[in-house]
Structure 1
């Protein structure tokens, strides 16, 4: 097993380290950012990192009759213009680029409106050379926000994808994205991207919805782990629960503050709990709602000589954080109510899985 695990991660690192082909990728939309200064716009090569980012309402500025996007229109309450949209794309790409010197192999995203915004994001200066394939499906979420996955073609190909519905007693929520990615060395990695129901109506009142999402994900994971092999799995997302909440620790069995806490997953973010910051802050209280977990088989490749360490944490670049006069350090978001912050990024920090 050690040799195969070593091969998997060596292949992963090799695939992610391939220099992307030269040449420009231009947008079909004239207002969008174009490729520019590398120092300003982030990495221009591919690295062995995986990033998850809740983008805080990445909407375009055009009306979609199938979603409730009225606030995100030029005449809407948020005065969401093409220029603001283009700048938001640059900010999100820049934040993703803060994960390290290279563009990620895999990028999981939450709160994206549609496929167009993913295409536009992948064309920005910081991400264009990643040559990302898009995994996305419009959901029935009432806010019109979806989950998505970007897969660098230098890393691998998407061999299969499905969107797992989360049945609720009332209302609807985002499905769970499951993609099977085959690396250049013909190794397969199962990737799950999540955005579980929010706590907006109260933590207790909405707990059952997140438990339902956890049960759907657990069932899907059981199928993968019961396949007779030792699969390579990455689970990431905005779970709207922390590592110690029942949906993660009891239903999903997603690991805790030790390497032996989980059933078959290791919650890498939970191991970072001594850090005073998390990935999101409510009223000055930081939480790790955004998490990355991996299968034990993937973690076992540490120390093989090909991979020295695997870890995950939120990206705490000071450019992503501002000092609130009442609550202290906070994610520098795009909107506070209806007040627009041009220099903001999102109300979440990105989380990154690093393989060094």
Structure 2
């Protein structure tokens, strides 16, 4: 399998330079997928999951649909399924244990990192990873503290705003907390090299994009603090933050708070690169709303992954996986992601995204 991967990359890289023609490269795929309301067959009295209690038949088909996507995701340039996969909208760990045993992906021997989050719908983020290639060294869930008063556009002086951003809490805790998904940080060794992943599902646009934008900016600020903490330990930390951000590449949370750049040459040391910005400029999308496409599902990376010394893992390119079997073919939502219906499970209203990491083979 490894020889096959290396050979394919030699063909692809032959157009880059004469030197590239003479080198062999190994590859890994890193992916993110919002699998839309991945609930089980049991009504949990502690969450608002009444609407999504599935029959056994429905659940079984939903699992198989997800497994099909994960098995084939990114295999255009890499015959192996993704080595690391971030997931959103998972109800619990037992469902992931069922998923990784599905015949479509069972041979990949995926490990699981999952934490129950305080989200009222009972949906969490998680990671799957191929044990053969990735060994976690640490993982933890990091909560996002937001309160009802954060949804109001009240005036605050600059000092108060900075204090809230710094501490990720409100000075006034007398208002009700809004529970949302935790961010999960997973660090480990990718075929012997340390890398870091963060999986996110930022607050939705409920109530409108503008009125809720500050909630996603708070989520982005938490992301920045996590990445900063890794870079203080190692300025050359290779970090990949991914998720359903409920914002596109040009929204404030991405452009101003994360300060993610859409052009590699603009990324400075300790900076971030967002390959999804180029795809957005081309009109591509991961989900549609009222016939307008956007890229809410993103993978954003730190500067060391852009360097061109391929003696260690580097970023190669990114993509959106949107094969015909995942797309609605009729009706009002023709062309959209084939989502769940009341009688039959689909795949998701989101298309997954992925990046390739490459390294010169020895």
TM-score range, shorter chain: 0.7 to 0.9
TM-score by length of 2: 0.78
CA RMSD in angstroms, aligned pairs only: 2.6
Distance 1:248 1:261, change over 3 A: same
Q: Write out per-residue CA displacement over residues 165-220 of structure 1, whole angstroms, 9 at most, x where no aligned residue.
A: 111022111011101021332x2111000000011221112111101101111011
Aligned to 1:217: 223
Find 2:188's aligned residue among 162, 181, 202: 181
Residue pair 1:239, 1:290 contacting (<8 A) in 2 also:
yes
Please list, as runs of the form range in 1=range in 2, the aligned pairs for 1:1-356 lying within 5 A after superposition. Answer: 48-73=28-53, 80-99=54-73, 100=75, 101-170=79-148, 171-185=178-192, 187-257=193-263, 259-260=265-266, 264-301=271-308, 304=310, 310-326=316-332, 328-335=334-341, 339-342=342-345, 344-355=346-357
Residue pair 2:307, 2:314 contacting (<8 A) in 1 also:
no
Q: Write out per-residue CA displacement over residues 18-77 of structure 1, whole angstroms, 9 at most, x where no aligned residue.
A: 9xxxxxxxxxxxxxxxxxxxxxxxxxxx9711110000010111122322222222xxxx
Q: Write out per-residue CA displacement over residues 88-121 of structure 1, whole angstroms, 9 at most, x where no aligned residue.
A: 0110111122321321100100000000111111
Higher helix content, 1 or 2? 2
Distance 1:82 1:17 in 2: 38
Residue pair 2:133, 2:191 contacting (<8 A) in 1 also:
yes
Look at both structures and tell me which one has the larger radius of gyration over its CA atoms: 2
Distance 1:134 1:324 in 2: 36
Q: Number of residues paired by the alignment?
A: 305
Quote the offset at 1:139 in angstroms: 0.8
In structure 1, the gaps of 5 or more residues are 1-12, 19-45, 74-79
Quote the offset at 1:307 in angstroms: 7.5
2:146 aligns to what SS in structure 1?
A: coil
Quote the offset at 1:350 in angstroms: 0.7
Residue pair 2:305, 2:314 contacting (<8 A) in 1 also:
no
Distance 2:136 2:274 in 1: 24
In structure 2, the gaps of 5 or more residues are 7-25, 149-177
Residue pair 1:96, 1:350 contacting (<8 A) in 2 also:
no
Distance 2:46 2:106 in 1: 29
Distance 1:275 1:113 in 2: 34
Distance 1:237 1:308, change over 3 A: closer
Residue pair 2:196, 2:240 contacting (<8 A) in 1 also:
yes
Aligned to 1:3: none
1:329 aligns to what SS in structure 2?
A: coil
Residue pair 2:249, 2:280 contacting (<8 A) in 1 also:
no
TM-score by length of 1: 0.79
